[in-house]
C-alpha cells in the first residue's frame, strides 16, 4: 500500500503564500492523476487542483491564477504552490493519487489519499 504524507501547512496572513508537498512512500505506477482536495469545517470536500499523467492541469475556479500544482516524479512528490491566500482558503488539504491497478488482464481504478495538512489563513 502506498502512503501519502502532506506537509507545509500552517498559519499565514491573507495575501501570504504557502507551498504544500505530498510525498509518496514509494513509486506509484500507472498514475492517471495526482491532485489536491480540501475540506473546510462544515463544508463538502472539493477538488482544488489536479495534474494528469500527461501534464495537463485542472483547477477549481476559486483558486485559478493563485494556486499552481506541480510534480516531481523522480521524488514521488506533488506540490501545491498557494499564493495570494484568502481566509476562505482555510481548510484541511488532502493530496491524492488516482491510479490503475492491473488485475487479471484489466486495469481497475484506485485512489490513494493522504491524512491531510491544515492551512489557516487569518490576520
pLDDT digits (tens, 9 = 90+) for 21-80: 999 998 877 788 999 999 998 999 999 999 999 999 999 999 999 999 999 988 999 999
User: Percent of the chain beyond pLDDT 70?
Assistant: 100
Pick from 66, 90, 78, 79: nearest CA to 28: 78
Question: What is the C-alpha to C-alpha distance for residues 113 and 36, in angstroms, rounded to an integer?
Answer: 9
What's the whole-number average pLDDT of the chain?
94
Residue 104, phi-psi category: left (phi > 0), alpha (psi -120 to 50), beta (remainder): left
Q: For residue 63, with 0-12 CB atoms within 10 Å meaning exposed, 13-18 middle and 19 or more buried, which class applies? A: buried
Q: How confident is the model at residue 1 (pLDDT cuts 50, 70, 90)?
A: confident
Amino acid at each position: 500500500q502506498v502512503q501519502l504524507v502532506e506537509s507545509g501547512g500552517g498559519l499565514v496572513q491573507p495575501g501570504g503564500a504557502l507551498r504544500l508537498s505530498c510525498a509518496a512512500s514509494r513509486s506509484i505506477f500507472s498514475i492517471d492523476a495526482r491532485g489536491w482536495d480540501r475540506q473546510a469545517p462544515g463544508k463538502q470536500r472539493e477538488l482544488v487542483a489536479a495534474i494528469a499523467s500527461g501534464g495537463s492541469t485542472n483547477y477549481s475556479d476559486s483558486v485559478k491564477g493563485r494556486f499552481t500544482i506541480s510534480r516531481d516524479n523522480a521524488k514521488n512528490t506533488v506540490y501545491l504552490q498557494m499564493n495570494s491566500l484568502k481566509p476562505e482558503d482555510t481548510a484541511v488539504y488532502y493530496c491524492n493519487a488516482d491510479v490503475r491497478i492491473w488485475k487479471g488482464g484489466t486495469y481497475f481504478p484506485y485512489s490513494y489519499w493522504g491524512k491531510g495538512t491544515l492551512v489557516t489563513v487569518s490576520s
